[in-house]
Structure 1
Amino acid sequence: MISATGLELRAGSRILLSEATLRVQPGDRIGLVGRNGAGKTTTLRVLAGEGQPYAGEVLRRGELGYLPQDPREGDLSVTAKDRVLSARGLDQLLRDMEKAQSEMAELADDRQRDKAVARYGRLEERFAARGGYAAESEAGRICSNLGLADRVLSQPLRTLSGGQRRRVELARILFAASEAGPGGRSATTLLLDEPTNHLDADSINWLRDFLKAHDGGLVVISHDVDLLAAVVNKVWFLDAIRGEADVYNMDWKRYQEARAADEKRRRRERANAEKKASALMAQADKMRAKATKAVAAQNMARRAEKLVAGLDAEQAQEKVAKIRFPDPAPCGRTPLTADGLSKSYGSLEIFTGVDLAVDRGSKVVVLGLNGAGKTTLLRLLGGMEKPDSGAIVPGHGLRLGYYAQEHETLDHDASVWENVRSAAPDTPEQQLRTLLGAFLFSGEQLQQPAGTLSGGEKTRLALAGLVSSAANVLLLDEPTNNLDPASREQVLDALRSFTGAVVLVTHDPGAVEALQPERVILLPDGTEDHWSADYLELVQLA
């Protein structure tokens, strides 16, 4: 259970939330919604105890499972399987049991062997008390449903992509939450920030069913409307204009109806108040002409001002980032070539012998199952990693722009302004400020550290850096993740109109349709084929 009272959240001097009261009880499945930058991620971090409120108090009881947008750095030497099992302490128990088994088989001294047998027995009792092999099997089922194959689970976390590590963390949280507490109910409150990122369609469907059946608390941020409609029974709407949280104790469909009615009511009240205030001011102006009525006129004017000031600010139309990729810099016929690329992480072979020629203005989509190496290929092409064999050959005039799904191209310690300035050091300052304004960054937010931005804001900042670079080859890894519907449409429009070359990795069929690719690369085999609509159904499965 979580209870927040008098909650005030800020981003710099900007008030995100003021005097809010928020409660999460067992059985609550809450959708946390609002436009990008409204404070959803900040709110979830504070509820999880990983951020401090500017004012107010947050009380927590029971277990918490928090999934942030960006994967946490921890001990990357442990295997993915052990990371999941650690949610219930089973990883260490299994290692201790394996050690005791070895001692039982190897020790020649009867007394020492008997101690090992007794130790094994105690460990086995503790293992059974925590669910035993049935719990281990349950963890395996959760991982499988999230698209984590056995070969991935056996690998150290450091060998996995950011998306795979995030799915491991989600599996760990869900495994912990599936453990029954007193009365057979889960005692875990789940705080999930965009949990469907990096999941294929089957995994998303399974996750919906899991969350719908979860009887602990849940607060979820998601742009997946189908998930919200299927799961939530309450909605918190963060109003970025008023800096308030509107609480709706109802399911998603009724919330949408109630929200539309509330906004219509506010507009009507505002119009009526402005009409009455205008009449009062007009009457006050007439009365000021007579000295005997000056005081009455002044009082009437004050009433008019108070009437308007006492109402909610008019709901401003939400601004949308104006994302347009500029004309690409001139380049040769084939600005980027990859010859015989191979990459492995330890004993795990990702792909081998991949060839790719990116011609001027060409559009290529990369498909493959999760873990097939799509992100790895883009990181190799972008120079973020080195291939084990093969070579990247830059062509005449190549200017690369790389969008990374985990925003690792951003300097999280640097400000918004410093990030864009470093991406385009020769661009005039006013031109960069205009560009940032088009991406909804202005005023004090230009000095805000990039690491404190929401996921959607980081996406906009990374895209602003791409736009400022005038790249002729764009490497885009899940560019529509974390974006609200309006911003996503802007990205899709930018893809449709961009005349340079694009290599795209995405689970978003709309992004592929906007790109209108000519070719597809299928990983891990590296097979190249002409694009056809038959491949579209593989996008969400990939």
Structure 2
Amino acid sequence: MVLACHNLKKAFLEQVIVKNGSFHIEEHEKAALVGLNGAGKSTILKMIMREIPADDGEIILAKGKTIGYLAQHQALLSGNTIYQEVESAKADLIQMETQLRRLEEEMQKKSGEELEQLLHTYHKLSAAFERADGYAYKSEIVGVLKGLGFAETEFDKCVDNLSGGQKTRVALGKLLLTKPDILLLDEPTNHLDLNSIAWLETYLSNYPGAVLLVSHDRYFINRVVTKVIEIEFGEIMMFNGNYSEFAEKKKLIREAKLKEYLNQQQEIRHQEEVIRKLRSFNREKSIRRAESREKMLDKMDRIEKPLEHHAELKLHLEPTVISGNDVLRVEGLGKSFGTHTLFQNINFEIKRGEHVAVIGDNGTGKTTLLKILNEVIPADHGTFTLGSNVHIGYYDQEHHVLHMEKTIFEEISDDYPSLTNTEIRNTLAAFLFTGEDVFKRIGDLSGGERGRVSLAKLMLSEANFLILDEPTNHLDIASKEILEQALNNYTGTVLYVSHDRYFINQTATRILDLVNQSFVNYIGNYDYYLEKKEELTAAYTESAAQTDASSEETASESKLDWQAQKELQAKERKRQNDLKKLEEKIQKLEEASAKLDEELAKPEYAMNSKKLMDITNEKAEIDTKLWDLYEQWESLAE
């Protein structure tokens, strides 16, 4: 066990964060801390890091273990470049490398005994440097930076001038390279594109230490963790498995508790009715029987009703007018900023009822495309045409459609003057704005609160074509699930940009992948996209080669590279499967050998030479098999 939290208690005035919570993280374990916004996830991480004190309880980090923490917001002002900042995680290796170079220079000038001493020191330091993988640290730095979405041309940028999201990525890269025994990560996928998130999944899954992460990215949690720790109503519960398994277990537990509670309530009502009836007979025997039942009822252990989150979004989207079958036609669309071309000659159509997700790397122009379709900015060339009776409802991740100087109430009442005060308050209450909250200025709201106002306006718009830019940003998991259900029940058309793969998987019927300044079309959800991506990308590359004779040779080489890569991947998968099977066999035989050792130690066999001989022979046979398996494993591991 690398980290243990026992009987944690924490409250801010009357707000109880955790009542009496306990959990632990084993070595090499990957765990997620989940809960609604405001449940206290980040607070727990800060308590573990001693940034804020717990009111009571104990936090234990195993002796000699190191811990690393990534907060949601970073304030890097070191004056370093991106590369220098991340490279500082390898300061000990850099120092060793400098010593080695110095020793090499000195050895050229020395001879005899002095040279022998220098050689001894050099070999010792060189061995330590090699054990620490010192010869690969530079390529490791480059790999991590590229994995987190930084191009080599950006390595020399000063961290002081980076955006908040870029600083967080730099801090994450630096933390990963320090390789602590346990990583605490607060929303690590924020500010990462899909490729970077996929890279981080693989990195964390193979990370030699333990990981405790807070994330609203359910797809990411599913692929990384083997344990989910939930904080709800100040209580902490642990569940083995990934997010999907946790959600299913949680649902079953809740249903069982509710059923148990309802059954007991039914029994209580039945007993109370029987007691009332017995008393109504007004006979001595019937009254004694009623009193006996009352005593039994008083002794009954009452089951508390399972708590519910009443503060949930109530989102219902439905168009008032049905659009024509052709909703949107885009022809030859292109956009550049200066010499940087985002996309060119884009063509696609959207039909009524389709739910289309636009995906792609950061900076490829996804949000720009939505802004063009909403006439926020113009295209450089090309056209787009809306079908008949198409009415757009736009959700902007930067919330430019909101007026920062207005109150929440004014934002709704000014756009929908026909609504009464009561109707406006009821609508806002459905989006968790009650009482005096409705008079808060939009400019004073958090990102999540502004998102809820935008969703409220979207619901009231009754549009039949929703264009959404990162609609799940700042939403907790429960709110995301409510939005997913609302979109799946929506009979209109949806076009959206999102990095939330779980959300895409639940809501998309089609995916447009913006890659190499053009779209690749996938008819299906995110799982389908992953399945077909390599196949369609290869076909797309081959098709492009046929239309451009000058690139035919390059395309052919790409295809060969791809096929070779697939063969290598298949061989590697087979090797890993064989290793796993061998390890399972070894474990079974080692367990059998250990049991035989226990048998040999039993006093009752001390004088039974035949039994001892049988056990010894069986153990020798197992040990021989183990020896062969060890050799096979070593060969495969190489």
CA deviations on 1:220-254 (whole Å, 9 max, x unpaired) are 4344357436532x3322345xx422234x34488
What letter is aligned with 1:144? K
Distance 1:510 1:444 in 2: 33
CA distance 1:389–1:271, change in 2 (3 Å): closer
Establish whether residue 207 from structure 1 lines up as the match of residue 207 from structure 2: no
Distance 1:419 1:170 in 2: 38
- Post-superposition shift, 1:436? 3.6
**Which residue in 2 is equivalent to 1:195?**
189
CA distance 1:388–1:247, change in 2 (3 Å): same
Distance 2:497 2:346 in 1: 16
CA distance 1:235–1:324, change in 2 (3 Å): same
The structure number with the bigger radius of gyration is 2
Secondary structure of 1:372's counterpart equals coil
Identity %: 19
Establish whether residue 39 from structure 1 lines up as the match of residue 31 from structure 2: no
Superposed counterparts of 1:382-393, under 5 Å:
none
Distance 2:328 2:254 in 1: 53
What letter is aligned with 1:533? I
CA distance 1:434–1:178, change in 2 (3 Å): same
CA distance 1:327–1:447, change in 2 (3 Å): same
Is 1:342–1:387's contact at 8 Å kept on the other side of the alignment?
no
Q: Give the count of matched residue pairs.
A: 480
Identify the structure with bigger relative contact order (alpha carbons < 8 Å, sequence gap 6+).
1
Q: Name which of 134, 137, 141 aligns with 1:135.
A: 137
Distance 1:147 1:56 in 2: 41
Superposed counterparts of 1:460-539, under 5 Å:
460-469=452-461, 474-480=466-472, 483-484=477-478, 486-493=481-488, 497-498=491-492, 502=495, 504=497, 508=501, 511=504, 522=514, 525=517, 527=518, 533=523
- Post-superposition shift, 1:354? 7.7
- Post-superposition shift, 1:187? 3.7
Q: Name which of 150, 153, 158 aligns with 1:151.
A: 153
Superposed counterparts of 1:327-338, under 5 Å:
327=320
TM-score by length of 1: 0.62
What letter is aligned with 2:172? I
Q: Name which of 313, 321, 334 aligns with 2:305.
A: 313
Is 1:80–1:156's contact at 8 Å kept on the other side of the alignment?
yes
**Which residue in 1 is equivalent to 2:276?**
285
Q: Name which of 235, 242, 245 aligns with 1:244.
A: 235
Secondary structure of 1:497's counterpart equals coil
What letter is aligned with 1:148? F
Is 1:366–1:523's contact at 8 Å kept on the other side of the alignment?
no
CA distance 1:64–1:72, change in 2 (3 Å): same
Distance 1:533 1:357 in 2: 13
Establish whether residue 343 from structure 1 lines up as the match of residue 334 from structure 2: no
**Which residue in 1 is equivalent to 2:364?**
372
- Post-superposition shift, 1:324? 0.7
Secondary structure of 1:218's counterpart equals strand
**Which residue in 1 is equivalent to 2:107?**
none
What letter is aligned with 2:317? R
What letter is aligned with 2:272? M
Is 2:76–2:160's contact at 8 Å kept on the other side of the alignment?
no
Secondary structure of 1:20's counterpart equals strand
Is 2:505–2:525's contact at 8 Å kept on the other side of the alignment?
no
Is 1:335–1:398's contact at 8 Å kept on the other side of the alignment?
no
**Which residue in 2 is equivalent to 1:30?**
31
Secondary structure of 2:168's counterpart equals helix
Q: Give structure 1 stretches of 5+ with no counterpart.
A: 98-127, 181-185
Is 2:184–2:211's contact at 8 Å kept on the other side of the alignment?
yes
Distance 1:447 1:401 in 2: 24
- Post-superposition shift, 1:378? 4.1
Distance 1:33 1:221 in 2: 7
Which deviates more, 72-81 or 434-443?
72-81
Q: Give structure 2 stretches of 5+ with no counterpart.
A: 99-128, 538-638
Is 1:506–1:512's contact at 8 Å kept on the other side of the alignment?
no
TM-score by length of 2: 0.55
Larger helix fraction of residues: 2
Distance 1:224 1:513 in 2: 11
CA deviations on 1:470-491 (whole Å, 9 max, x unpaired) are 5676442233465457325325
Distance 1:231 1:389 in 2: 45
**Which residue in 2 is equivalent to 1:18?**
19
**Which residue in 2 is equivalent to 1:435?**
427
CA deviations on 1:394-431 (whole Å, 9 max, x unpaired) are 99x9987543457787899999x559648846343333
Distance 1:76 1:411 in 2: 36
- Post-superposition shift, 1:336? 11
Distance 2:78 2:321 in 1: 39
- Post-superposition shift, 1:141? 1.0
